[in-house]
């Protein structure tokens, strides 16, 4: 039987009990660490990052209940199971009040120990999921299924399924705003070995730059004005044993990119204001609507971070490139909002279908969803008609569109069109000079001024390129 991916910390000053419990749990869980020195255990707490602590009540000079109280004061979320050789009801009640997950009596019943540990881990996972779901509800996170009938989206889903088989491979999702990058990230998580762990999402573009470190890595009391909690977990700690979705990762500052790179390499970080490293086991799924390679050229994104993130890539096509999915999604959204608003909308008229399938959808799936929500709320009939969608401006037909070549040039603008065979620099410069002379009616002095060169240099170019000035040319 495969070991479950949890880290268990045992704190008991009796080496015999310590070794016995370690031997039992090491066969069930991936990592078990034992301490007979409580102070040393507390020092290593951040770096070990246990999922569960088995804590003895009497630890020589220290008392386990005081340690439990200290963990509570520090807001340390890890569940604790107390162990003692004394059956004291008052002690058990105090332990529970201080937040102990369970209270077991020595000599330990091995079956009871296994059941207690498993129950504590299950409850802890459930609490974390509830907290994350609550946060998603508060921020009105959109939920839904991925609708992918078109070939481009089928290819994206196939890639997502392949990447999800890995436990920790970093994934980069590319796509325009509104194409469903967060939904795809959740899809990868739900198919991965980490599906039992939390899925935490953060929009890097929505975080003020001076709060980004606090948001991602958390803080400790006194780190800044208003930091009153003993320990405030960041997104990385919230996503421990699960997946962290970094949406719009291209918006991170260069300073935060350095810190993110370090976490990806070492799996450790410091909380803001903290002095001890915190270990984390997190899979990163990043997403962006920007061209990271262009940002690298502009010096706005670290090349080494790009290669760290771009291990597995999923490209989400814009909605305009998969028109076959438009009506499938629109029908799904109609069902959702009809139920929400107590309507009985059954579908669309042919004219409404034409409008929806010919619309450009610059905001992609998000825009389509918002449009259907608005229409469903206001619709008085059972079928959505053309008039219901009158606020949508259809795309211009190709014959009605104005060519870019037909638009007048603004001051300082120019156009360069080169054949597929290419062109030499002298040919381009010659054409530039001839067009400029035509604009200035052959006046070399004006032409030189327009070109930003001296009249002598213009004359040199005329002679070099074999351009013979017309009679109107002023020398």
Distance in angstroms (rounded) separating the CA atoms of residues 79 and 229: 19
Q: How many helices (H) and strands (E) in the chain?
A: 18, 18
Task: Calculate what percentage of the chain has a pLDDT beyond 70.
Answer: 89
Lowest mean pLDDT among 181-190, 256-265, 425-434: 425-434
pLDDT tens for residues 214-228? 889 988 876 666 666
H or E segment and range at residue 330: helix 326-341
pLDDT at 133: 63
Residues 145, 184 contacting (CB under 8 angstroms) = no
Dump strand ranges (E) for 378-428: 383-384
How many CB atoms within 10 Å of residue 307? Answer: 11
**One fold for 4-126 and 151-315:** yes
- Answer whether residue 470 shows pLDDT above 70: no
pLDDT tens for residues 407-459? 566 666 677 777 766 778 888 888 888 888 888 888 888 888 888 888 888 88
Angle between helices 38-48 and 64-73 (to 10 degrees): 30
Topology of domain 422-475, CATH: Arc Repressor Mutant, subunit A (1.10.10)
Q: How do the domains of the chain map onto residue ranges?
A: 4-126, 151-315, 319-389, 422-475
pLDDT at 242: 92
pLDDT tens for residues 298-342? 899 999 999 999 999 999 999 988 888 898 889 989 998 999 999
Topology of domain 4-126, CATH: Rossmann fold (3.40.50)
Mean pLDDT, all residues of the chain: 84
pLDDT at 451: 86
Whether this model's pTM surpasses 0.75: no
Topology of domain 151-315, CATH: Rossmann fold (3.40.50)
Sequence-ordered list of residues with C-beta below 8 angstroms from that of 134, at least 6 positions apart, any chain: none
pLDDT at 230: 67
Q: Looking at the domain covering 319-389, what would its CATH class be?
A: mainly alpha
Question: Comparing 257 with 128, which gets the higher pLDDT?
Answer: 257
pLDDT tens for residues 52-67? 999 998 887 778 888 8
Lowest mean pLDDT among 16-20, 91-95, 436-440, 443-447: 91-95
pLDDT at 122: 87
pLDDT at 202: 92
pLDDT at 164: 92
Lowest mean pLDDT among 32-36, 137-141, 411-415: 137-141
Query: Is residue 286 very low, low, confident or very high in pLDDT (cuts 50, 70, 90)?
Result: very high
Distance in angstroms (rounded) separating the CA atoms of residues 380 and 345: 9
pLDDT tens for residues 369-414? 999 999 999 988 889 998 999 888 765 544 444 444 555 666 666 7
Out of 76-85, 86-95, 395-404, the most confident range is: 76-85
- Answer whether residue 367 shows pLDDT above 70: yes
Mean predicted confidence (pLDDT) in 159-178:
92
- Answer whether residue 243 shows pLDDT above 50: yes
pLDDT at 397: 45
């Amino acid at each position: 039987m495969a070991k479950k991916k949890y880290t268990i910390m045992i704190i008991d000053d009796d080496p015999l009990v310590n070794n016995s419990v370690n031997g039992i749990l090491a066969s069930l869980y991936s990592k078990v660490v034992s301490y007979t020195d409580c102070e040393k255990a507390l020092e290593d707490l951040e770096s070990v990052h246990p999922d569960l602590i088995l804590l003895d009540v009497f630890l020589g000079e220290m008392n386990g209940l005081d340690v439990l109280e200290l963990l509570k004061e520090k807001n340390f979320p890890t569940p604790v199971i107390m162990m003692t050789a004394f059956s004291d009801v008052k002690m058990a009640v105090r332990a529970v009040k201080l937040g102990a997950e369970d209270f077991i009596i020595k000599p330990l019943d091995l079956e009871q120990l296994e059941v207690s540990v498993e129950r504590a881990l299950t409850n802890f996972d459930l609490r974390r999921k509830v907290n994350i779901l609550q946060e998603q509800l508060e921020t009105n996170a959109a939920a839904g299924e991925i609708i992918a009938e078109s070939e481009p989206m089928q290819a994206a889903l196939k890639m997502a399924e392949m990447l999800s088989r890995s436990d920790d491979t970093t994934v980069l999702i590319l796509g325009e705003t509104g194409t469903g990058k967060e939904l795809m990230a959740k899809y990868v998580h739900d198919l991965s070995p980490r599906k039992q762990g939390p899925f935490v999402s953060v929009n890097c573009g929505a975080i003020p730059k001076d709060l980004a470190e606090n948001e991602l890595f958390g803080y400790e009391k006194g780190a800044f004005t208003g930091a009153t909690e003993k320990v405030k977990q960041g997104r990385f700690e919230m996503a421990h044993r699960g997946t962290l979705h970094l949406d719009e990762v291209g918006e991170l500052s260069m300073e935060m990119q350095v810190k993110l790179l370090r976490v990806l390499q070492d799996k450790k970080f410091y909380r803001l204001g903290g002095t001890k490293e915190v270990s984390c086991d997190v899979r990163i799924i990043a997403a962006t609507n920007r061209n990271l390679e262009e940002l690298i050229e502009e010096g706005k994104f670290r090349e080494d971070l790009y290669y760290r993130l771009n291990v597995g890539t999923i490209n989400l096509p814009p909605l305009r490139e998969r028109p076959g999915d438009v009506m499938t999604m629109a029908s799904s959204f109609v069902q959702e909002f009809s139920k929400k608003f107590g309507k009985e909308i059954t579908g669309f008229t042919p004219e409404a279908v034409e409008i929806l399938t010919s619309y450009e959808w610059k905001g992609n799936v998000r825009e389509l969803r918002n449009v259907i929500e608005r229409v469903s709320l206001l619709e008085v009939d059972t079928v959505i008609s053309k008039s219901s969608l009158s606020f949508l401006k259809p795309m211009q037909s190709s014959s009605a569109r104005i060519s870019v070549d037909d638009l007048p040039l603004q001051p300082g603008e120019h156009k360069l069109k080169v054949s597929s065979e290419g062109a030499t620099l002298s040919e381009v410069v010659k054409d530039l000079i001839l067009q400029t002379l035509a604009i200035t009616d052959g006046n070399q002095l004006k032409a030189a001024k327009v070109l930003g060169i001296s009249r002598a240099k213009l004359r040199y170019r005329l002679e070099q390129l074999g351009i013979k000035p017309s009679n109107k040319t002023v020398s």
